[in-house]
Structure 1
């Protein structure tokens, strides 16, 4: 965000390589942690619907921060080699980024050296984190759907599925542009630069801005407070 504001407010178009490496580390690490949060929320919904009697014994207060710490360390360990790989390169091409912030795929294209190993590692890291997380979220929803379909009352079935709508919207908002941007950078050589810029801004800015709105729409208390603020 400081880099984006610097470009648009102060016309500052230069950033040092070390600052760029630090920025991409934090951007990708936080994206990995956001993916982990969505996975943990899917696990929470799965236990609450499929095994409600054991929910209190499985999702305990001491266990929640431990799970968060494990996923945070997972993201840091996997993302930490990315800036180290980029630091070894010589950059002799035009140092112009496609986005107003630093992404691993974008910075890697500016290197003069062979980037095949780094490209493979970046793709494996993306598959290991977001690919695996999205697959586990999909499996959890399949199990949830299988469970609610066995509920005798259609009203109860809809009530159970209604609790997952906000989370499902947040999952789609996060994974679709993020995976699409990664695929375009690696395989879409003939794709429009405008599409890359749009997906880049969408994946970075839209989910954090829209998620509070998505979740507040399902809360009557929050909706009432928001309407009250605008009416005043």
Structure 2
């Protein structure tokens, strides 16, 4: 039997990934595909926590550009992540993967409050835990949430699932045909080159806590399993290059 190289992971799924080819909202076939990939990993005994973005419904920065107060726009974005988290929970439980949603904003009718020890206990019992509503504070991205939660639950790696790109490039590969894909980077290189993999707060958190990051395409079936089994795909970002 194939053996995973990680025991506990944080999977960061962008909101745009859930929209599939629609560009907005939630595409049922796409979220079902992600759920199936997560189920494959859980079957190996890997403990999976998920952080979902909300960009397929609302982006705080876009709201600010329209004249909405930044804090208000960010809170609206947090609510979008809750909607995505519930949709992903439903997709997972339809294929018999026990899942819990923990929200950083109290909404007891639909989600548990985020409690670190309870989250770890769920993971130990083989349940997938979805962290919703970001950090619960405006001005912080869901990338920062992924880094923070990974540090808190002592995850071994963050898997950053992208919708359109299969790793980190020197420039936007859709705009610049000379863009080069990196196989491995350090967090300092990401910050110095302004590569936009994660925001600076998230990158610093990962660097300070020595949490590696793997950036890969979610659209290719079995990619999550490939990363968990140690196959080299996408781009890996570390505190220092080995």
Q: Same fold (TM over 0.5)?
A: no
Give the structure-1-normalised TM-score: 0.29
Is the strand fraction higher in 1 or 2? 2
